[in-house]
Amino acid sequence: MKKIVSLIIIMLLIVLSLTGCATNAENSKNSGEISTPSENAEQKLENNEMIKIGIVQPVEHPSLNEIREYIILGLEELGLKDKVEITYKDGQGDASNINTIISQFVGDDMDLIVPIATGAAQSAAAATKDIPIVFAAVSYPIEAGLVEQLDKTEGNITGVSDAIGVGEILDLALKLTPNIKTFGFVYNSGEVNSVAAIEKAKEYCDTKGLKYTEATITNSGDLLQVSQSLVSKVDAIFTPTDNTVASAMPVLSAEAIKAKIPVFVGADSMVADGGFATVGVDYKILGRQVASIIKRIIDGEKISDNPIEVLNQYTKIINTTTANKIGIEIPEELLKDFQIIE
């Protein structure tokens, strides 16, 4: 009888021990503690294994495509061309597709996930607390809920912000076209980065005693009607690095050119698509800056040692063809400071 009791006690102790281990493991999993997956990538490098990187963007358009292309080129320039296996997918303008893509990346045990733009970064952050996330082109990561402060990150996410100098762009607008009395703002009110930029634009106008009127869209199909309505009410248009507007920028440009209205934008690709001018984002620089962070993470650095970076170089860009079409002459002494698109 004593032997049976002793056996039962031993079995209970074993069960309790296993239960405790499982509980501790579950608590560790749910605590948000990062298991430094960058060490896995570093180990793969040592073993000559391919490092798996998943890149996702919300939609195909020139700005986002350029970021992706220069992330990949940047990795090649940093010596990783034959060491990384890149899977790229786009959400085709549907947020639910982004969630599905990122779930696939997590299920495929990607070593890093690289979301381009705010919505994709938010989806990635919600999907995994373990896989390192290096985002590109999230203008306002604090407002997007990705981090609590720019100079410190305690989770698994970092990246490069493309927050534009709204004041600098509007200063440029008044310098090139000093007769502006009313600005028109075009943006997708569902994009956090755009809302934050427009708030800054409103503050600027209030300070300068300028009027403004807003026109919001929910998809690129809205842009034609909104543009046609807006150009009759304003002296100039400002649109930030808004993905929805950028995907149909030629539509806005065409309507503004017809009305002889300058459009000031947030990015180089939007100038190339007919916008007038910007002090804005050069996505070639942004892509390479993101690649540098990815390289450091692959080499074994922790996310916590790589807080959010802000794009380190902005560019003055002007479209002289658009200038000619809307009848604006740019003095030669000003043009020498610009990257010119014809």
In a domain, residue 7? The reply is no
Backbone angles phi, psi at 214, to 5 degrees: -105, 150
Bridge-based pairing of strands 309-310 and 157-161 is: parallel
pLDDT at 20: 40
In a domain, residue 19? The reply is no
pLDDT at 41: 62
pLDDT at 164: 78
Q: How many residues are present in the chain? A: 342
Q: What is the pLDDT of the chain when averaged over all its residues?
A: 87
239 lies in the same domain as 296 = no
Tens digit of each residue's pLDDT (9 = 90 or more) over 24-34: 333 333 334 44
- Rounded Cα distance between 50 and 250, Å, is 40
Residues facing 53 on adjacent strands: 86, 112
Say whether pLDDT at 60 is over 60: yes
In the chain the first and final C-alpha atoms are separated, in Å, by: 96
In a domain, residue 130? The reply is yes
Alpha-helical runs (H) found in the chain: 2-30, 38-46, 62-77, 95-107, 118-127, 166-176, 192-208, 223-230, 243-246, 249-258, 268-272, 283-298, 320-325, 332-335
194 lies in the same domain as 60 = no
57 lies in the same domain as 122 = yes
197 lies in the same domain as 271 = yes
Measuring CA to CA, which residue among 251, 234, 254 is closest to residue 177?
Answer: 234
The CATH number of the domain where 288 resides is what?
Answer: 3.40.50.2300
Measuring CA to CA, which residue among 296, 240, 231 is closest to residue 265?
Answer: 240
What domain range includes position 110?
38-163+284-313
pLDDT > 70 fraction of the chain, expressed in percent and rounded = 86
68 lies in the same domain as 51 = yes
